[in-house]
Structure 1
Amino acid sequence: MSNFWKSLMTVRCIHTCRTSLRETPNNLKGKSVSSQKWLVRQLKDPYVELAKQEKYRCRSAFKLLEINDRFNILIPGLVVVDCGAAPGSWTQVAVKHTNADGSISNKPKGIVFAIDRLPIYPIDGATVVGNMDFTTQLAQDTLRNLLNGKQVDLVMSDMAPNASGVKHMDHDNIIRLAYLALKFALHISKVNATFLAKLWDGGQSTQFEQDVGKFYKNIKIVRPAATRDDSSEKFVLAKGFKGLKTS
């Protein structure tokens, strides 16, 4: 049994225990309604507790862990770029599974780059670029300089805009981010590389998936178990980059 599925069993145990206890926060006084809802949801979410136990910075680590467990996109020795990385949980997973920290002596050592417009505390084994917006040319040029001619095995994007509550606007904004990540990936990836990007359901999702399919051999739409029930989140996983024609 893989470590991810062991963790998932632990999640189910935590969820069962918490459901039976019906815990509620005792520090809601003076907080806005939205803050109260967030605190209640966090307390009831077993992935939040498990992330603390496993020393991941955020529950989203379990989304990438499941995707990797199912599709084997992270192996020792790979070069990975993590776009929209803050607070760093996907980067932590990437470092561990590519051996970027050199913790497995008999396996090749990977390279992981992480970028976000928010600050990112250092992560052993990763090159972190915080306070820099991936959508700018400066940020992308910075990543290219750090790569120093290396081609990338995996570009992954967990980028998402700040939700406005206007569904079509939020969808348009996350599609824009996904296209920017895709364009970047097409120019830095090696042949047969992998691309992973987060989307929210909406009218442009199908077109984006079709456009990705023009450049990659295999496309899958993945909704990990750690995705919350009330979320329209899904991930486009593209494997087998065909390369770009240069003539």
Structure 2
Amino acid sequence: MAGSLKLVCTALQRQWFHTAGCHFKGRTGAEHLWLTRHLKDPFVKAAKMENYRCRSAFKLLEMNERHQILRPGLRVLDCGAAPGAWSQVAVQSVNARGTDPRSPVGFVLGVDLLHITPLEGATFLCPADVTDPSTVQRILELLPGGRADVILSDMAPNATGIRNLDHDKLISLCLSLLGMVSDILHPGGTLLCKTWAGSQSQGFQKRLSREFQNTRTIKPEASRKESSEVYLLATQFHSRKGPGTR
């Protein structure tokens, strides 16, 4: 994580003890526990300070800083985009607003089942199911050249609290996304997707390795330590449908 972000988070942690007390009145034990974690979380505070829509922005910021996933001029498909924090990071990183006249202008398309508040520099397709063939067709129509250079996925199913079941459901969602990659991703492109660690993780990573030249598992600092959440980064996609267009 960048040193400046660490300084921001440290300062915000110090402020927490002065503001937390009023939030706990009349809360149940479970609500009290959730609020304690939420209010003490430096990334929640930092997201407000930096005007990101939620703390998950810092996961992508960190992964992008370490692995150079995004750069000016790239076309990005953000799956499971609501509330739009990853799209915010992508818009900045690919110069989608054209704010840097010296750099190529990228494109960001976000898709989600939920409504997403409009964001300058991004196009949102919502409500829409990214696994629906009609949605895929609309994605291809909206992407410049009909292809994405990077697919981001922070998608997750509604959690049941049963770890193995939730893991299986998320892997199924990831496999559905992988099945669309050949239609959407430009040759040499990148896929970054969230998974929950579990029995099927290794098998899914093997599937990725057949489609991409390189794969790795990432656990960003902004991902809570108690969470089984990890991200799989796959680069250099091997197209099965020819060179595509640019």
Q: What's the secondary structure of 1:59's corresponding residue?
A: coil
Unmatched runs of 5 consecutive residues or more in structure 2: none
CA contact (8 A) 2:182 2:241 kept: no
Residue in structure 2 matched with residue 7 of structure 1 by the alignment: 5
* One-letter code aligned to 2:42: P
For residues 167-190 of structure 1, the C-alpha deviation after alignment (integer angstroms, 9 at most, x for no partner) is 111001110111122222222111
Once residues 133 and 171 of structure 1 are traced to their aligned partners in structure 2, the CA distance between those partners, rounded to angstroms, is 20
Aligned 1:46-195 pairs, distance under 5 A = 46-147=42-143, 149-195=145-191
Rounded Cα–Cα distance in structure 1 between residues aligned with 2:171 and 2:234: 16
Tell me how far 1:143 sits from its aligned partner: 1.1
Tell me by how many angstroms 1:97 deviates.
Answer: 0.4
Alpha-carbon separation, structure 2, partners of 1:126 and 1:58: 17
- 1:2-52: CA deviation from partner (whole Å, max 9, x where unpaired): 9x442133223433x257x38644233444444332222110100000001
Instruction: Choose the corresponding residue for 2:236, options 232, 236, 240.
Output: 240
2:174 and 2:3 map into 1 onto residues whose CA distance is 29
Letter in 1 for 2:155: M
Q: How many Å separate the matches in 2 of 1:72 and 1:113?
A: 19
Unaligned runs of 5+ in 1: none
Q: Check if 1:210 corresponds to 2:210.
A: no
Residue 208 of structure 1 deviates from its aligned partner by 0.3
CA distance in 2, matches of 1:224, 1:122: 27
Question: Quick one: distance in 2 between partners of 1:148 and 1:62?
Answer: 27
Contact 1:18 1:44 in 2 (8 A): no
Q: In structure 2, what is the Cα distance between the partners aligned to 1:187 and 1:33?
A: 48
SS, match of residue 26 in structure 1: helix
- Equivalent residue pairs, number: 242
**2:219 corresponds to which letter in structure 1?**
R
**Match of 2:181, as an amino acid?**
A
What is the alpha-carbon distance in structure 1 between the residues aligned to residue 61 and residue 90 of structure 2?
9
Distance 1:131 1:229, change over 3 A: same
Q: CA separation in 2, counterparts of 1:104 and 1:76?
A: 9
| Residue deviations 1:127-186 (CA, integer Å, cap 9, x gap) | 011221223223222212212643211001000111110011100111011112222222
Contact 1:25 1:40 in 2 (8 A): no
Corresponding residue number in structure 2 for 1:223: 219
> If the length of structure 2 is used for normalisation, what is the TM-score?
0.92
